[in-house]
Amino acid sequence: HLYNVDARIIHVSSGGDVNSKARELAQHFQREGSPVMIGGGVLAYGLMGVHWNESTGECNYLILDPHYTGEENMNKIGSGGWCSWKSSDLFLADKFYNFCLPQRPREL
């Protein structure tokens, strides 16, 4: 309960296994709608969405790089790759990743 926010953690021991969690991540966005924080062996990112093709298994991830320090200019952020769709190649097979999925409060 960091800052009194409930969260689920998904641990993936290899980046090659991230796609196996795509359905679970997509369901998180449908149910909760909150961004997912990713930390791992070599990176930290924000996950803003998942495009998962159920019939082919192909996955793409809408990644926001929290290391951006420039002006609030969406064209610059988008064209610079600071927020863009990435393939699963982003996740390295020899690295681990933790996904933090914040949960919305159920009671007000």
Burial class (CB in 10 A: 0-12, 13-18, 19+), 45: buried
Retrieve residue 1's tokens.
Answer: 């309960």
pLDDT in tens, 47-73: 999 998 888 888 999 999 999 998 999
Phi, psi values for residue 71, rounded to 5°: -70, 160
- Within 4-96, residue ranges assigned H as helices are 22-31, 74-79
Class of domain 7-102: alpha beta
pLDDT band at 2 (very low <50, low <70, confident <90, very high): low
What is the spatial distance between Cα 65 and Cα 38, in angstroms, rounded to a whole number? 10
Q: What is the torsional sign of CA 104, 77, 97, 26? A: positive
pLDDT band at 108 (very low <50, low <70, confident <90, very high): low
> pTM for this structure?
0.88
